[in-house]
Amino acid sequence: MPKSAVGLFKTEAIAGDVVGEIESAGIPHNEVGEVEEPVDFEVTGVMSFPGIDFETQVFRGLTEMGATEQQAQAYVDGLRRGGVLVVATAPDQKTVDAAAKIMNRHGAIEVGETAGAQPGVVVESPDITAPMDVPSIQAGRMQQPEGARCFVW
């Protein structure tokens, strides 16, 4: 069962440093990547909506890996504001936890849910970081007390 660590970062430079450090820690290059919203989208016709297509693809990918819809939307919103996602996948929890720690050391932005029947979303723009007061416990996701999240899928 694959496991992934996901972190949102303020800049491409920070994300690049995170990717390099994660690869140095032993996760193969093809299992670590950056996702950022392209500056220009190729329009292929009157009914071409490449920006929406990109966001939908990111949203689906995150929910397939275990993020809630609220978390996935928060990550997409972060990308829209100029942030960069880093995703690291590994077969074992120890390696994914190490990747999450690297992400948190580099200031992964907190995107999470509050506990309760109606989950709320804590969304920080790349300029604002607020701590999450009450982490929730959810099947399929390991909630971290800091910015990066780990998912089992």
Q: What is the pLDDT of residue 126?
A: 43
Query: In whole angstroms, what is the distance from residue 15 CA to residue 95 CA?
Result: 18
Band of the pLDDT at 140, cuts 50, 70, 90? very low
Contact by Cβ (8 Å): 84, 8: yes
- Number of domains, the chain: 1
Percent of the chain residues topping a pLDDT of 90: 48
At residue 47, does pLDDT exceed 90?
A: no
Domain encompassing residue 26: 3-152
pTM exceeds 0.75: no
Half-sphere exposure of 98 (CA within 13 A, CB side): 16
Give Cα separations from 90 to 26, 52, 100 (angstroms).
Answer: 10, 29, 12
By mean pLDDT, which of 1-5, 69-73, 131-135 is the weakest? 131-135
pLDDT tens for residues 2-11?
799 999 999 9
Q: What is the pLDDT of residue 69?
A: 93
